[in-house]
Amino acid sequence: MFKPQDFKKMNSNPWDSGFVRDLMDTVHGGVFLLDRAFTILTVNETATQLTNYSREELVGESITLLFDEMEINEDLLAFMAAQENDLMTLKTKSKQIRVVRRRFIDLSKDSDSPCRIIFSLEDMTERLGIFDNYEKIQRILKAFTLSIKELIDTADYHKALISSLTLLGKASMADRIFLYVLEEDPSRPPVFNLSFGWGKTDLNIGGPGTIKTALPLETLEKHLPGLLSGRPYHGLAEDVASPELQQYLHRQGTLAMIVFPVFIQEDFWGFLGFDQCTLADIWPPEVFSTLGAFVSSLEKTIERHLMQRDLTLAWETAEKASAMKSQFLSNMSHEIRTPINAILGYTSLLEDIISQEEGRHYLSAVQKAGNMLVGLISDILDLAKIESGEIKLQQDYINVRRIYEDIVDVFELKTKENQITLEIQVDPSVPDLIIQDETRFRQILFNLVGNAVKFTHEGGIVISARQLAFSEETGTVDLTFSVKDTGIGIPEGEQEKIFDPFKQKDNQNASVYGGTGLGLSIARRLVEQMGGEIRLHSREGEGSEFILDLYQVKTVGATGSFSAMMKQARALEKGPVRSRAAASEPSAEVIPPEAKTLLETIQGDAWLHARQTQSMDSSRRFAGEVAGVAGNYDLSALKNYSENLAEALGTYNARKIRELLEAFPRVAAIEGGDGS
């Protein structure tokens, strides 16, 4: 370090001599010679490198040009003497901050020398930066981890975006963050709209000298074309090649920035930027890499959000279309059923008029086709109700054993015709009374048994029921019901397909087996609505077993006689259970004389025959005749009665069929119509 006596030997302007400048250039640190007013007289080459100013720019300027916290006053020299070897922050010409250690020699005692202070600075930025960068990297890595967690865990895409970018902004020492999204509208040029903005202070978006809410695509193509090809920008604002962009960054106060392109499925979607507005400092490579990794995760999150949005939109569209379809099918089924029932009713009346064998053959064909059409309409209506959510299960007390007996009664004749057996196996553990929707439960079982009878040509069918589990805590049971046959079986590759609407086994002979492919689809959906599941075990050529599992079924008491259980059930009821027959009781509706005459004729023929034979065919014929009269004379009570009877026939509910047959004289308001 120079000593005061060395300068006494020099001329009156030692700072201006080439010898002194050459000597100062040999010093490792930056050297400044100051006069009594702290004005810079000369500097060495290292000082110009440290400050980014030239020698000409520094000479004649106050030393406070480089130190914001330094003020010229009488106490400055004493302060600097007391803080020897202290660290100071120096601001360069490019507004970068350097940390320096100062040393000085006081020449103020030499009154003849204009040089008052020899001020030397040692740059400590890189050495201290190692520790500073380490802390910064630790902060950014922690913020990166939390940000990724936000993107993964938070379902709300916009909330996750705000939280994660705020965490990164604080940790990365960014003063401002912005996310622009490309929006293309055929009516105008493509533009980037500001989707998200964050700043340490109010961004005042849209105000004078602030970031813009919209940027045309051509602006990006002109000034930062590398983004469009996937290259991020990382550097100082003053190093930007475009003068126009430099001016824009200067107006909004940007000193340094990182801008990452955002690509979604290989398409340029937008860009994410980080600004420094207080320091012209480039982020360390580790921070840049971490932010780049975050952008990659952000791309996946945005892609997932857009996919979910598209799926939700497609789902909502499909739901609306399905609801419209179901409503249409429901309306059309009702509209078609009324004239079909009328046709069936009149064909039944014509049977008593037409005696020719050929004519009766034609009538029989019309009746068979009509009954098939009514069955198809009923299936379509059920499917439409299920898909639209209109079917509500009606919980009631039902007896499993009696339903199984009804199944045997209904299918006994058909199984004898096919020369196959039909066996019932109900385990003693199955309660006599369970609480379930009897109509839908019957519909499921009768569909499964009907299919078994249709596809079994030798051997037999076993329908069974047993208890899987009992919960003492809830008083509920898990039950399994099985329909097993020795029929033609179903190939393994087609076993799931047959549960789809309108799907049947491949190469199935429609003329032999018929059917619409709706029965199993309806059965599965009804079982699922009951909180159960339906399973299938089958091998082609060996037979099939359909298994119906119902879980947590409510029961009444333990196993025992049906009459005892029914008494207990009635005692537990809050009020009497209103039957379908009761729902069809006569109202104040006036029946015209012509209609009453027809109804009396029906009572003396079709009704009496159905009541005496208890056959399904005679009951269907009777229901069709009643529906025909109800439709022609617009009698709502009779229409309701015929629909209830048709539904009971469709589910083979023998008890309700008998109740409804017995109720007919009261519904038709026929005096003394007991049929005896």
DSSP β-ladder status, 460-471 and 214-216: unpaired
pLDDT of residue 461: 93
Q: What residues make up the domain containing 199?
A: 131-311
DSSP per-residue codes, 164-208: HHHHHHHHTT-SEEEEEEEEEETTEEEEEEEEEEEESS---TTST
CB atoms within 10 A of CB 137: 17
- As to burial, measured by CB atoms within 10 angstroms (0-12 exposed, 13-18 middle, 19+ buried), residue 338 is middle
Specify the 3-state DSSP secondary structure of 356.
Answer: coil
What residues have CB less than 8 Å from 174, skipping those under 6 apart?
A: 168, 274, 275, 276
| Number of domains observed in the structure of the chain | 4
Q: Are residues 117 and 258 in the same domain?
A: no
Report if residue 364 sits inside a domain: no
Q: Are residues 38 and 148 in the same domain?
A: no
Report the CATH number that the domain containing residue 185 is assigned in CATH.
3.30.450.40
Residues in the chain: 676
pLDDT of residue 557: 53
List, in sequence order, the alpha helices (H) in 428-474: 438-455
What residues have CB less than 8 Å from 403, skipping those under 6 apart?
A: 438, 441, 442, 445
Report if residue 322 sits inside a domain: no
pLDDT of residue 75: 63
Handedness of CA 497, 500, 506, 512 (dihedral sign): positive
pLDDT of residue 551: 92
Q: Are residues 101 and 232 in the same domain?
A: no
pLDDT of residue 508: 56
d(CA 500, CA 495): 10
Residue 513 and residue 488 in contact, taking contact as beta carbons nearer than 8 Å = no
Q: Are residues 119 and 135 in the same domain?
A: no
Q: Are residues 220 and 115 in the same domain?
A: no
266, 282, 311 - which closes a domain: 311
pLDDT of residue 135: 67
DSSP per-residue codes, 307-343: HHHHHHHHHHHHHHHHHHHHHHHHHHHHHHHHHHHHH
Q: In the numeric block, which tokens belong to residue 672?
A: 């003394």
d(CA 43, CA 25): 9
Report if residue 44 sits inside a domain: yes
Report the CATH number that the domain containing residue 92 is assigned in CATH.
3.30.450.20
Low-confidence ranges of the chain (pLDDT < 50): 1-12, 205-209, 511-513, 558-587, 675-676
DSSP per-residue codes, 263-306: EETTEEEEEEEEEESS---PPPHHHHHHHHHHHHHHHHHHHHHH
Q: Are residues 278 and 139 in the same domain?
A: yes
Q: Are residues 496 and 463 in the same domain?
A: yes
d(CA 15, CA 457): 121
Report the CATH number that the domain containing residue 510 is assigned in CATH.
3.30.565.10
572, 599, 624 - which closes a domain: 572
Q: Are residues 115 and 159 in the same domain?
A: no
H or E stretch covering 252: none
**How many separate helices (H) and strands (E) can be counted in the chain?**
22, 18
* Residue whose C-alpha is closest to residue 645's, from 662, 628, 620: 620
In degrees, to the nearest 5, what angle opens at C-alpha 105 toward C-alphas 99 and 107? 140
Q: Are residues 164 and 302 in the same domain?
A: yes
Report if residue 306 sits inside a domain: yes
Residue 422 and residue 408 in contact, taking contact as beta carbons nearer than 8 Å = yes
572, 597, 619 - which closes a domain: 572
Report if residue 357 sits inside a domain: no
d(CA 233, CA 170): 20
Q: Are residues 178 and 114 in the same domain?
A: no
Residue 490 and residue 540 in contact, taking contact as beta carbons nearer than 8 Å = yes
Report if residue 176 sits inside a domain: yes
Q: Are residues 177 and 77 in the same domain?
A: no
Q: Are residues 102 and 216 in the same domain?
A: no
Report if residue 578 sits inside a domain: no
Which strands form 40-43's sheet, in the order they lie side by side? 40-43, 30-34, 117-123, 97-106, 87-91
Report if residue 380 sits inside a domain: no
pLDDT of residue 564: 45
